[in-house]
Amino acid sequence: QQQVKQSPQSLIVQKGGISIINCAYENTAFDYFPWYQQFPGKGPALLIAIRPDVSEKKEGRFTISFNKSAKQFSLHIMDSQPGDSATYFCAASYQGAQKLVFGQGTRLTINP
Amino acid sequence: NAGVMQNPRHLVRRRGQEARLRCSPMKGHSHVYWYRQLPEEGLKFMVYLQKENIIDESGMPKERFSAEFPKEGPSILRIQQVVRGDSAAYFCASSPRPRVDSNQPQHFGDGTRLSIL
């Protein structure tokens, strides 16, 4: 119930391509879905987040697509750049519980 | 504009010793969260504290682990009698209010890498 499942585990994309990372959840009480970016030796940093009352949110090259009925959400990185190479985590939380439940992470490599 | 400060960045302990990890939240933040990250895995929630209070410790092992956030000073995560399985990266996050959303997200420190010999 508390799990967030993330795929793929690793992803290699050519520069300029689209990177897509998927997450699925079970707990319908979740109402906040952030994506975090983590570089080696650093802590996670909030990238973009969405609430289930919208189906899509875009910030620059980053877009979250949300499918409430399927209990799935995904991160799209357009025009992927080598600087985007990092580990990406999806997460979820719900009102009344302040903790974030994280997915397992996706190691993204953008080849120049 | 100091972020969440964690120290030490790296900590090496022998089995049976104690490990003390410190976290100073961002200025104005009174809510602190500790997470553990095992190699090649996501972060797992351990404990959530407000000043002088433990609010949620549902992710913390019942034995050997404790956390505090005193009125003055940093939050401390203490691991007594460490074992090899405690080797991990421990991250602290802080927020200005308990409700987590885009307007008041959890800001993470760069973690403490704990290695047990």
Question: What residues contact A53, with CB distance under 8 A and at least 6 apart?
Answer: none
Does the beta-carbon distance from A89 to B110 stay under 8 Å? no
Tell me the per-residue pLDDT of B15-29, one tens digit each, with 9 for 90 and over. 999 999 999 999 989
Does the beta-carbon distance from B4 to A43 stay under 8 Å? yes
Question: What residues contact B72, with CB distance under 8 A and at least 6 apart?
Answer: none
Tell me the per-residue pLDDT of A43-79, one tens digit each, with 9 for 90 and over. 999 999 999 889 999 999 999 999 999 999 999 999 9
Using beta carbons and an 8 Å cutoff, which residues of A are at the interface with B?
Answer: 6, 32, 34, 36, 41-46, 49, 51, 89, 93, 95, 97-105
Does the beta-carbon distance from B110 to A41 stay under 8 Å? yes
Q: Write the DSSP symbol of residue B105.
A: P
**Closest residue on chain A to B111 (Cα):** A43
Query: Is residue A15 within 8 Å of A77, Cβ to Cβ?
Result: no
> Which residues, listed in sequence order, are joined to residue A19 by a DSSP beta bridge?
A77
Does the beta-carbon distance from A95 to B31 stay under 8 Å? no
d(CA A86, CA A26): 26
Nearest 5°: the CA angle B4, A41, B70 is: 30
C-alpha B86 chain-centroid distance: 13
Tell me the per-residue pLDDT of B50-85, one tens digit each, with 9 for 90 and over. 988 999 999 999 999 999 999 889 999 999 999 999
Instruction: Give the number of beta-carbon pairs within 8 Å between A and B.
Output: 66
Q: What is the CA radius of gyration of chain B?
A: 13
Q: Best mutation site among B32, B43, B103 for testing chain A: the one with the most A CBs within 10 Å?
A: B43
How do the residues of chain B divide into helix, strand and coil, expressed in percent and rounded to 5?
Answer: 5, 50, 50
Q: Who among A43, A93, A102 is closest to B100 (CB)?
A: A93
The residue among B1, B42, B49, B44 whose CA lies nearest residue B23 is: B49
pLDDT band at B1; cut points 50, 70, 90: low
